[in-house]
Structure 1
Amino acid sequence: MAAVTLVLGVDGGNSKTDAAVVTSDGELLAWVRGPGSATSPDRAAATVAELLERTGLDVGAAVGGCYLAGVDLPFQADAVRTALADRGVVAEVANDAWALLRAGAPPSAPSVAVVCGAGLKCVARAGEARVEFPGLGWQTGDLSGAGDHLAREAIRAAARAEDGRGPATALRDVVRSLLGVPSIGVLAERMLRRELTGRDLDGLAPAVLDAWRAGDDVAGALVRGLAEEIAASARAARRAAADAVGSAAAWTLVLGGGLFADPAGRLLSALPQRLWDEFEPSVVTGPPVAGAVLLGLDRLGVAGRDAAILRTFHDATPEVVR
């Protein structure tokens, strides 16, 4: 272990994947960004392997991990790990929420992390205890995503407003304007024909937050529902891990993902105030790949690099691979 000098960190989500290599003293050697890796195990491994090849470094002896959206259960992690090994990459594989957690809190701090991007994911760490909610959707008791959930529900509310089954809402005009359709009925037809896909809905979640801020009651109900789900997940994860550290411990709530990386702080302001009686907030606005690197340094026993690593990734710019 003493001979290992390279640390590998990979953070992959729906829209992008970051791969970084640092030395054991924290020097950034390479940072490459490519397409999303929330795909099949083989395609995710191929994306990661291609990005690592683009670093130009021999990472065969590196310590580190790949933290990917869509890796929610052990069999999924095993499948990606095997696919990576077939390509000569040996690394820990886990969900990307763990990288976010490490980017927002040191390993000694009892912490919960909630990722709110296209999806919604919650994990917790306290002492040796680890808690992870699968986040697979309705079959595991979850909302089906965060941004995805708001987008779908906005269209649903707009459709019901259009045909009179639901209350009037500004979301009807918002959806038609953003997606360039004359009616929600035409939108449904275009999605059925696959002329529009889920990717075309990406701008709807921020628009729902704007409509809520503007006073739309229907949008407000959607945003409050998501905020309550975040709070319920965070509190449940804390309860599940609390026995490891005792009731007097101070807890950190790490928040990240596209909906929290928002300069206007719209979703953050929607969270119930009672949450802050239990947690100190830590909003991660920088790249979570910094957390993936820190987890690798933790495995090497290298401490005290948090501020320097976070600053390095804040100041650096990745090479982008299309």
Structure 2
Amino acid sequence: MGVGTSVLAIDAGNSKTDVAVVAADGRIVGTARGGGFQPPRVGVETAVDTLEEAVARALAEAGADSVGHVSACLANADLPVEERELAEALRRRAWGPSVDVRNDTFAILRAGLREDAEPRGVAVVCGAGINCVGMLPDGRTARFPAIGRISGDWGGGGGLAEEALWFAARAEDGRGEPTALRETLPAHFGLESMYALIEALHLGRVSPVRRHELTPVLFATAAAGDAVARAVVDRMAEEVVAMATVALERLDLLDEEAPVLLGGSVLAARHPQLDDGVRVLLAERAPKAVPRVVVARPVLGAALLGLDHVAAAGEVYARVRGHYEDGARGE
């Protein structure tokens, strides 16, 4: 494969990494999946080593040593200074002469934008955490630090699980109002009480990484009519719409039709209460916004951002989209 305008697309999340090598004509000639990307926990160079293992397999499949441009959308690249640091680390690996690093939320945004010539819109991602970005054809963006409560964030899968545990614990000991979460959360792990679940989590008999399993339990409890659980889901809808509306306003898109892409495991699951709540609130606060759930793999977004950089032809975009979308689009 000639280097030319070929693109190495990387979508690296906390739990897994997807890599694709896109030839100049839009064919996907190499792919690989690797482990999670967590520089805050293991350090930048060690985290990039994880990328390198997957990149090496994708390049080998493509029969190439390098590409024309590297487009990397990375989890934990939350601040511009982190993007710069990570971009420099990727440049040292010499995968291509030009490197562009963005937060992985941009991959969801770009994957959901159907306008290949002039990408514009806003995306809210609700997976383990929550984040929102927006972009305009002239290069302007809107974004949030999105590093947890210290930057004003609430929710995401991890946050919802913690909130459910908090309400259930208080219902157990009488400090809070009654909620079925008191029974449904421990029952998920085969335990008889919230006290038993608290003990199991504290002593490590239930691994902390399994807390994410409680988010679907919260949604199921809400769907069964529990008032406390429903209030938590309603607040999640409020947070999603608050971020989207602020981003639209920053980009002067409130008064014109603009897509709002919804991605990440929590939003892509399309839980009826959350999905309906987001759409109702958006209709009230940003009437011209057009919400869509993104179902394509985020590595598509990283690839499209790379094609934007190399000014690819329309048929190249179409071929890449066809490879990943297979006609599946969220509405």
Calculate the TM-score normalised by the size of structure 1: 0.89
3-state SS of paired residue (1:234):
helix
Quote the Cα distance in structure 1 between the aligned partners of 2:33 and 2:272. Answer: 26
* Selected match of 2:274 from 260, 267, 283: 267
Aligned position for 1:14: 14
Contact kept? 2:27, 2:319, Cα under 8 Å: no
Aligned position for 1:310: 321
Shift of 1:206: 1.6
Aligned ranges 1:145-224 → 2 under 5 Å = 145-224=155-234
Contact kept? 1:179, 1:201, Cα under 8 Å: no
Quote the Cα distance in structure 2 between the aligned partners of 1:27 and 1:298. Answer: 16
Shift of 1:109: 4.6
Structure scoring higher RCO (CA < 8 A, sep ≥ 6) equals: 1
Quote the Cα distance in structure 1 between the aligned partners of 2:292 and 2:241. Answer: 14
* Selected match of 2:236 from 219, 226, 242: 226
Consecutive aligned runs of 4 or more in structure 1 exceeding 6 Å deviation = none
Contact kept? 1:37, 1:43, Cα under 8 Å: no
Which residue identity does 2:18 align to in structure 1? Answer: D
Aligned position for 1:319: none
Shift of 1:3: 6.1
Aligned position for 2:75: 69
Equivalent residue pairs, number = 311
User: Which digits, 9 at most, give the CA deviation of each residue in 1:46-105, with x for residues without a partner?
Assistant: 111110111114352331311111110122122322332333335211101111111011
Contact kept? 1:44, 1:80, Cα under 8 Å: no
| Alpha carbons of structure 1 residues 78 and 126: separation in structure 2 relative to 1, 3 Å | closer
| Alpha carbons of structure 1 residues 311 and 268: separation in structure 2 relative to 1, 3 Å | farther
Quote the Cα distance in structure 2 between the aligned partners of 1:89 and 1:308. Answer: 23
Aligned position for 2:104: 96
* 5+ long unaligned stretches in structure 1: 316-322
Shift of 1:263: 5.8
3-state SS of paired residue (1:196):
coil
Residue 131 in structure 1 maps to residue 138 in structure 2: no
* 5+ long unaligned stretches in structure 2: 327-331
Which residue identity does 1:45 align to in structure 2? Answer: V
**Relative to structure 2, which stretch is displaced further, 4-13 or 230-239?**
4-13
**Relative to structure 2, which stretch is displaced further, 160-169 or 79-88?**
79-88
Aligned position for 2:49: 46
Calculate the TM-score normalised by the size of structure 2: 0.87
Quote the Cα distance in structure 1 between the aligned partners of 2:281 and 2:12. Answer: 32
Aligned ranges 1:287-306 → 2 under 5 Å = 287-304=297-314, 305-306=316-317
Contact kept? 1:179, 1:200, Cα under 8 Å: no
Shift of 1:188: 2.5
Contact kept? 1:115, 1:122, Cα under 8 Å: yes
Which residue identity does 2:301 align to in structure 1? Answer: G
Contact kept? 2:238, 2:278, Cα under 8 Å: yes
Shift of 1:214: 1.3
| Alpha carbons of structure 1 residues 268 and 307: separation in structure 2 relative to 1, 3 Å | farther
Aligned position for 2:28: 28
User: Which digits, 9 at most, give the CA deviation of each residue in 1:262-316, with x for residues without a partner?
Assistant: 265553223151413231112111201001101111111114244432331245x
Which residue identity does 1:76 align to in structure 2? Answer: E
**Relative to structure 2, which stretch is displaced further, 227-236 or 262-271?**
262-271
* Selected match of 1:82 from 85, 88, 100: 88
| Alpha carbons of structure 1 residues 222 and 303: separation in structure 2 relative to 1, 3 Å | farther
Contact kept? 1:6, 1:59, Cα under 8 Å: no
Contact kept? 1:112, 1:125, Cα under 8 Å: yes
Contact kept? 1:11, 1:66, Cα under 8 Å: yes
Quote the Cα distance in structure 2 between the aligned partners of 1:21 and 1:3. Answer: 10
Quote the Cα distance in structure 2 between the aligned partners of 1:263 and 1:226. Answer: 13
User: Which digits, 9 at most, give the CA deviation of each residue in 1:113-144, with x for residues without a partner?
Assistant: 0011011010011232211111111211111x
